[in-house]
Structure 1
Amino acid sequence: MTKAAEIDLASVSKIYGKSTAVDAISLKIPAGSYCCLLGPSGCGKSSTLRMIAGHESVSIGDIRLGNTVVTNLPPAKRGTAMMFQSYALFPHLDLIDNVAFSLKMAGVPTVERRARALEMLKLMQMDAYADRRPAQLSGGQQQRVALARALITDPEALLLDEPLSALDPFLKIRMRAELKKLQKRLGITFVHVTHSQEEAMALADLIVVMSDGRIEQAAAPREVFERPATAFVARFMGDHNVISGAVTAAADGGVEIAVAGGGTFLVRGEAQSIGAPADAAIRTDHVRIGESPVKGLGFTGLVTNVEYRGGTVKLSIDGAGVEDFTAIVDDVSFFSMPVSVGDAVPVHWDASDAIVLGRPN
């Protein structure tokens, strides 16, 4: 395979009439990394992928692959390959001819292109099905063929638009493991669009969380999980509670935040101006129940929902100025002192588990 390419987006925007789908984003994707563009529907992640591929024009800004500015180059000249959500296999062609199609368009002789297609099918462990049509394959097998067809051009970067969305839950887990293994084996840059937090965490070296056409955070999975940059990231990833209020005190690397219901919370972070709005994040799996909280590091609220999840139990709790607060507790702890909907329970956490969140510019 050819060497991997670094992908560099410099103040890239995509504008449709009066609507801005991607708003002046800048991003560097290291060569040979697995990058997931993550966010809800309509956040601009697929438009970003399509601009990298050349299937959408760039309204403002530039895109560089390796040492080449590709902003105005057609897809075939970029050194990228794209695998679409639908796979888009030709139903009337066998697998070899499906995989070899781009080589046929490039004028590669029949014997050579079929040999290379068979080699790619072997890489995907699909060579035994080489003479079959796509309709004779399962969804996972069709995905492998689509991957083989994308990779036959020896791209420096492979672009994947929600490639696992059409698969059942068990097959998704198996195929994401195979995607990661394939990326490590080939060593090329993968850019993968998904709306699944679990998928991004399992696959990516770099997660880029997007909202409303902007990048909220671009970081390694552990950093996104442990230190979300903004309230949107904390809420979207689902592993943090977010408390919003106003700064009432700030000193010594800590901030005090007062919420509308009158409670105050102590949070780690940079000093903010007094009276400024502020958000704090608390890890859901670090919240404990059943003990009187230290002032600023907990509250007493009413249980609004209890969900048993096997090894853990999810509790939803409402307090004064704090709604839908989540505690994930292990099943042993919960059943040694169970609570029910409507019970008043104290919840608390350690000082190190509450952090100040940034606010988008």
Structure 2
Amino acid sequence: MSDQEKHSSDEWLQCTPPELREAAENTRDELLPTKSQKMYESTYDAFVKWKRAHKTKVTSESIVMAYFKELSEKYKSSTLWSMFSMLKATIKIKENTDIDQYHSLKAFMKKTSSGFVSKKSKVLSSENVEKFLTEAPDREYLATKVALIFGISGACRSNELVNIRLRDVKKEGNLLVVNLPDTKTKGPRTFVISEEFVKIVQQYTDLRPQNAMTDRFFVNYQKGKCTCQVIGIHKFSKMPKEIAGYLKLEDSASFTGHAFRRTSATLLADSGANITTLKRHGGWKSSNVAEGYIEESVKNKSKIGHIISTAVNFAPAEPSERNNDDPPSKREKIETITSEK
């Protein structure tokens, strides 16, 4: 927006009745994401406070550059990009300024992230999943097993598991159809739990207390019994670590709340699914984002190696077909060439 356009906008606001001006400001604030609005607001407030400390009210490229230069000395690249994203939204709404057009700033941001590798949650292999569902005692781990089944069947985030209601889970023949109405991308997703897993889920739902006052699907489970208390997001986030601990996997603390979602994407990719299927499964709009959830698994790399070796069409000769099991020496090669001449 040009200075002239901004001046006209400010002039228009000054001529607007106070009650309408307040309504307009409230509407602007509602444009921020509902769940993380406080975080967006606090990020913007910190920027305003910093400007005040440096005795300026201007938001220009040089000012924002100086701010992020200072932040880069305290925070890692991923945090800087998160703060940039939140500031971009709030400054655009509150000040009608688009910092996304600051090319020097974006070049600086990209430079700070050069060589940075984000730390991602580890994933469970198909063998890990099978072993846990088969061997872990139900008396202690039944709710965790059901969360694992839902998590990998639907590429679920922890908060999506929290928000599943009884009405969202329908039995159709030998299958369970689960609807996720409240997702991060605002679009509903539906997934199916196959009949191999339905028996475990049914075992859990049969233990649900009749007097439970909640319609949340996941309720607390202890010592073979369900209680009326619901399972919260923090407990779901710790479940992958709990599973890794039971299986005695290396660095179990690296199995975070995103492990179910990443495991689901990796298992689907390993099965040969294309990127379109993967994006639809997890509700991803970007191919790059979807691919970022796939772990570089040995199984996937093995498939690639097999494809390459098949393309080369290399078939090593059997030892019996050679005159000598050992490779010919340099002298033998020379003698052979000489004799052929």
**Which has the larger helix fraction?**
2
- TM bucket normalised to smaller: under 0.3
Judging by fraction of residues, say which structure has more strand: 1
Answer with 1 or 2: which has the greater Rg. 2
